């Protein structure tokens, strides 16, 4: 049985949620809890799921009321035919199918080349085999993507190659990424929508959750709800959601609300230090440091209104929009240059205060006890398939180092001081959330943990040298929470 009843009087949402940014609707939570019971009840299913797997649910509606569909990403215990879950959009696992037959031929070539390599006889291997293997692999990948014929709510169909090219129209992107990433079309959300459209079921709301161990690179916590991945799924779902009434990304992110929140150019920003050369202000949460494409209001625009006679003010460094705290403002080019040089030489010390989602009583990674203070060193790089997230990347990542100190455990949360030694994107957020860091996300971190009324991260202290007088400065700002 693939369509599962929802026996409840919970009211359905007014329109479909955006799969890339949402709070799970109670109907989705109810459906997800049922899926979790299935996992626990089947030892084979649970054994594979415990290694780490994304599951998804889609609440649907037809003449009989609300029901739900369930899916998992990729294969589960080597299978794609579990009876409770929707089937794949295209089944490439048939042993006598074109995909598996060609895959076996490619494997035979690999074995020949590997055997020659093991014997240090690469020079004796037929060079045409390398060319043949490459050509067969590329043709098979293209063939496979053409088999994924994705529907939208208007009953229109496009294959993955068409969808990819229609979404990525810039020549530079098309040249660098001529085809979708491997595994496209096999994530939960596309599988769920495809089955719903094929069976005339109207999508109501959707959610995805992680089960089991976290991947080594990404931040995934057992039982946590996550949005659909952007690298693989954003082009696909942009097509598949056409014809549905759903929350646009702008509505979900609340960009118009943020614009209105700070639309007064006379918005008072607290100033904790000022002289004729520079100022240090306290940036509130959810205000950009510099103007964005959709939201133009920022610390920069507000400071230029405050100091219209200066050639600046210029932003010396940045804070994420969601982070509050201390920002240095320079009032001319020379001061800006001298301060930036201090940042580049890592002479500026910074202390952040954060509240973590849960109480921490001990910290360990890879079986080693870290203690209530210590250092986290996890190299970071962009998650190109799910921007703006960052991943831990031991091969190509940039060095990222954070000292930490547990201050207290209070009201179910942990208050921690963070001292970044480097300034990587999302460094503190990943170092807190990752299993080899503090293994506990910052409260309100919608990217690496759970959303709340705000991100509880505040730049509380700065130590730097005055660029003109040479005076050592120590500026503080206590968080309001």
- 186, 247, 320, 386: the catalytic one is 320
As a whole number of angstroms, the distance between CA 164 and CA 234 comes to 10
CA distances from 288 to 262, 291, 296, 313, 329 (A): 10, 6, 8, 15, 14
Helix axis angle, 160-167 to 230-240, nearest 10°: 100
Task: List all residues 6 or more positions away from 14 whose beta carbon is below 8 Å from its beta carbon.
Answer: none
Structure-block tokens of residue 269 = 């920003």
As a whole number of angstroms, the distance between CA 380 and CA 396 comes to 8
Whether the Cβ atoms of residue 66 and residue 13 lie closer than 8 Å to each other: no
User: 457-465 and 324-330 as β-strands: parallel, antiparallel, unpaired?
Assistant: parallel
Whether the Cβ atoms of residue 282 and residue 476 lie closer than 8 Å to each other: no
As a whole number of angstroms, the distance between CA 218 and CA 61 comes to 34
As a whole number of angstroms, the distance between CA 113 and CA 477 comes to 63
Helix axis angle, 188-198 to 230-240, nearest 10°: 20
Strand, helix or coil for residue 457? strand
- Radius of gyration of the chain from its Cα atoms, rounded to whole angstroms: 26
Residue with tokens 């992110």: 253
Whether the Cβ atoms of residue 395 and residue 378 lie closer than 8 Å to each other: no
Nearest CA among 442, 441, 465, 25 for reference residue 205: 25
Strand, helix or coil for residue 139? helix
Whether the Cβ atoms of residue 420 and residue 427 lie closer than 8 Å to each other: yes
> Does the annotation mark 320 as catalytic?
yes
Whether the Cβ atoms of residue 317 and residue 431 lie closer than 8 Å to each other: no
Helix axis angle, 127-147 to 98-118, nearest 10°: 150
Give the catalytic positions in this structure: 320
């Amino acid at each position: 049985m693939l369509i599962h009843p929802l026996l409840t009087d919970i009211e359905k949402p007014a329109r479909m949620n955006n799969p890339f940014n949402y709070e799970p609707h109670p109907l989705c939570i109810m459906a997800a809890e049922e899926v979790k019971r299935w996992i626990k009840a089947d030892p084979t299913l649970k054994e594979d799921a415990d290694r780490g797997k994304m599951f998804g649910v889609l609440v649907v509606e037809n003449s009989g009321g609300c029901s739900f569909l369930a899916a998992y990403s990729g294969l589960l215990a080597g299978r794609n035919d579990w009876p409770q879950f929707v089937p794949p959009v295209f089944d490439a696992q048939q042993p006598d199918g074109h995909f598996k037959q060609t895959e076996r031929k490619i494997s035979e070539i690999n074995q020949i080349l590997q055997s020659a390599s093991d014997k240090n006889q690469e020079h004796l291997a037929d060079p045409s085999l390398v060319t043949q293997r490459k050509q067969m692999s590329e043709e098979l990948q293209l063939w496979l993507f053409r088999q994924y014929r994705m529907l939208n709510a208007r009953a229109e169909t496009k294959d993955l190659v068409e969808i990819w090219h229609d979404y990525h129209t810039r020549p530079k992107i098309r040249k660098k990424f001529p085809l979708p990433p491997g595994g496209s079309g096999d994530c939960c959300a596309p599988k769920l929508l495809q089955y719903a459209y094929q069976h005339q079921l109207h999508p109501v709301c959707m959610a995805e959750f992680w089960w089991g161990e976290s991947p080594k690179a990404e931040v995934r916590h057992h039982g946590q709800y996550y949005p659909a991945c952007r690298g693989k799924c954003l082009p696909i779902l942009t097509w598949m959601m056409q014809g549905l009434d759903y929350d646009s990304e702008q509505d979900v992110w609340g960009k118009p609300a943020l614009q209105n929140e700070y639309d007064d150019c006379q918005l008072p920003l607290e100033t904790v230090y000022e002289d004729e050369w520079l100022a240090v202000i306290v940036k509130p949460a959810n205000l950009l440091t510099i103007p964005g494409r959709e939201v133009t209001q920022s610390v920069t625009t507000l400071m230029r209104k405050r100091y219209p006679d200066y050639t600046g003010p210029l932003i010396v460094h940045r804070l994420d929009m969601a982070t509050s705290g201390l920002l240095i403002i320079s009032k001319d080019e020379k001061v800006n240059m001298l301060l930036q040089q201090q940042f580049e030489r890592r002479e500026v010390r910074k202390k952040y205060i954060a509240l973590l989602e849960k109480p921490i009583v001990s910290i360990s990674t890879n079986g080693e006890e870290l203690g209530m203070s210590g250092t986290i060193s996890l190299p970071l790089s962009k998650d190109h398939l799910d921007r703006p997230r960052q991943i831990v990347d031991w091969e190509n990542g940039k060095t990222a180092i954070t000292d930490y100190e547990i201050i207290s455990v209070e009201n179910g949360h942990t208050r921690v001081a963070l001292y970044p030694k480097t300034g990587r994107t999302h460094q503190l957020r990943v170092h807190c959330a990752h299993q080899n860091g503090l293994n506990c996300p910052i409260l309100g971190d919608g990217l690496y943990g759970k959303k709340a009324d705000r991100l509880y991260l505040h730049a509380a202290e700065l130590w730097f040298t005055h660029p003109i007088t040479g005076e050592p400065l120590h500026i503080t700002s206590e968080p309001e929470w």
